[in-house]
Chain A
Amino acid sequence: MHTLPPPFKQRIALLFLRRGAPLAFLLILAVFALTAPNFLSIGNLANVFAQSAILGVLAFGLTIVIIGGGSNVVTGGLDLSLASNLGLCAAVYASLNNAGYGATTSIAATVLTGMAVGAVNGAVVVWLGLPPLLATLASLNLINGLELVLTENTVLPTSSVLLDLLSGGNWLGVPALAWIFTGTGLLLALLLQHSRFGLRLYAVGEYAEAARAAGIPVRSYVFFSYILSGICGALAAFLSAAWFSGSTTGSGELLLSVVAIAFLGVVFSPRVLPSITGTIFATLLVGFLMNGFQLLNISSFWVNGIQGALILLVVAASSMLRASK
């Protein structure tokens, strides 16, 4: 069937919707650059990157799961346990490190904890057919409980060479956390957007039937996306432990921001799909907003609301875009 090209007005609207997000991003940057003192200084920009690292790495994990499961929120991929996974991993690392285990043991155990959480999520989603929303909500509860048992709801201060390196390290005037955020982002972007694995994962998420018919082991791919998400949780745990010099309570509160960022990231891709590069931009957008507000002395209480309004705006725009396609 041949479809007529959309009328001129609609084409303009489409263009605006497609390029709208990057435009809005630049606009916000420009406003802050003009109004907030020091906003564009290298030190401040590097700071924003460093502050975005924890949320960003978690959002990468969620993005991978969404890519592999499809972006329908209820039936598609979702990992609500990510933020709690961070909390548990940080608690595991802090306890092992404080108990005098060697660096290798504590780091390995922490990464394994994150992977185990991912594996449990993946297993129940893939082989038992639980909706991800529900499965990861349930594991969120369980993980929160385990974290509480380990920490007894207190902060476990800890320090190690690794954490010192992460929190105090500096290369070319840019803090280590910023390097980790950028490095992880680029690496994952390469893996998911420019490799065979990534392309197949997209296929699995967008059209599982077709992917299966093409001979892709759909279940293993989805399972693996949850493992990757678990690893992101563990990585974020190291960053958080470095930032706060130990494990903290209430890391579960990051969850909603992570979900918001991952879905915000969708509009930064011209094809309105979840992508790592999109998530990088979304993380930075939220980071710049918070930073700009701080510099302008606007109450940080506004940040949540603006984030919420942004999600709504973005999703409404993208659903309109889909409808007009």
Chain B
Amino acid sequence: MKLITCLAPILRLSVPLLFVALSIFFAATAPGFLSTGNLLSVLVNNFVLLGICATSMTLAVAAGGIDLSVGTALDIASLSFVALLNAGAGFAIASLGALLTAALVGVFNAVLIAGLGISPFLATLGTLFIGTSMQQLLSSGGQPIYIADQARPGLSNISLFGLPFPLFWVAGVALVYGVLLARARLGRELLATGQQPVFAHYTGLPIRRLTATVSIACSAAVGLAGILLSSSVNGYVPLSGNGFLIQAIGAVFIGTTFSRQGRASVANTLLGVLFLNLIGNGLLLIGWNFYWQQVATGALIFGVLIVSFGGRKLHGFSAKP
């Protein structure tokens, strides 16, 4: 029993420790892992889009749901961004249009979840399917649509204070949603709904309104990722958003292992995203082939989950008298 009491905190710390250990390992073995160029490229190329998607997902998970349609919202925002630019609209109008269409996906989810009482998993699964069909029909089966040469926004080349511009977008989204979730009244209410839905209901929290807000906020933010993706590949590639879905869910839950209560928070999610990115990048630099990278990342996520849940279980047992 003594052993278990000692073991539990160690297990809880194991994920951050693993994070640090892996970073040191890569820094020692992979040439250039710690160079500014490499770290910056990880941030711009891998961190930004997943970071925005995962931040949105954090909100959904914190409220006790999940959003499987983040990829759909991203794609649809990307599509309308490209379509508006090609129709001659300016960058500002096109961005606004993209955000609005992304938010529309959220409104659709909100109607399903808050209005019709469908569970978030199934509701957003349905949205994902409908979105897939829509994109296939609009892009004649998955043909990319490119932005006309004169309309290209060239966002990725802009830098501000020496940092690439897209980084400020993630920072902005993370700051707003992070503060909202951790400090604002709305965030408290969301967490309460997520963790104790029955109590939240009897306390008189407006649960329907809360879930609707989360759905819309989630999709709208992902619209930003859609704009960034379109501007970096100069076009719209159908169904490219779904690649972020599973990683975003993974990042959120890896993030919860950093928290003592196992709660979702934006800062921890972003650490989770960074964890995934750095492992991928480190394995690439030490020359593992792409397929083994997948195995290693998969095994690591699996290991992290096992350790963290196993640890929490041990902790639970040891806390009993």
Contacts and interface: CB of A to CB of B under 8 A. Distances in A.
Interface of A: 72-74, 124, 128-130, 133-135, 137-146, 148-149, 152-153, 256, 259-260, 263, 299, 301-309, 311-312, 315-316, 319-320, 323
Contacts of A139: 298, 302
Contacts of A316: 112, 116-118
B306 to A, nearest CB: 6
B97 interface: no
Interface string B122-134: 1101111111111
A149 B118 contact: no
A323 B116 CA distance: 11
Given A129-B312, A149-B291, 5 more contacts: A138-B301, A145-B294, A148-B291, A260-B129, A304-B132
Q: Which of B130, B131, B133 has the most CB of A within 10 A?
A: B133
B250 A137 contact: yes
Contact of B250 (A128, A141, A144): A141
Contacts of A133: 66, 121
A307 B130 CA distance: 8
27 contacts: A128-B309, A128-B313, A130-B305, A130-B306, A133-B66, A138-B301, A140-B246, A141-B250, A142-B298, A145-B292, A145-B297, A145-B298, A149-B291, A149-B294, A153-B291, A299-B137, A301-B136, A304-B130, A304-B136, A305-B129, A305-B132, A305-B133, A309-B130, A315-B122, A316-B112, A319-B117, A323-B117
B58 to A, nearest CB: 15
Contact of A256 (B129, B250, B253, B296): B129
Contact of A137 (B132, B246, B293, B306): B246
Nearest to B119: A73
A151 to B, nearest CB: 9
B299 interface: yes
B249 interface: yes
Contacts of B131: 308
A122 to B, nearest CB: 13
A128 B306 contact: yes
B31 interface: no
B309 A130 contact: yes
A312 B141 CA distance: 24
Contacts of B306: 124, 128, 130
A306 B130 CA distance: 7
A308 B223 CA distance: 22
B294 A305 contact: no
B46 to A, nearest CB: 16
B295 interface: yes
Contacts of A320: 117
A259 B246 contact: no
Contact of B249 (A137, A148, A263, A311): A137
B135 to A, nearest CB: 9
A311 B126 contact: yes
Contacts of B130: 304-305, 308-309
Given A305-B133, A308-B128, A138 B250 contact: yes
Contacts of B88: none
Contacts of B137: 299, 301-302, 305
Contact of B118 (A135, A145, A312): A312
Contacts of A306: 133
A196 to B, nearest CB: 31
Interface in B284-321: 290-299, 301-302, 305-306, 309-310, 312-313
B298 A312 contact: no
Contact of A138 (B125, B128, B302, B310): B302
Nearest to B293: A145
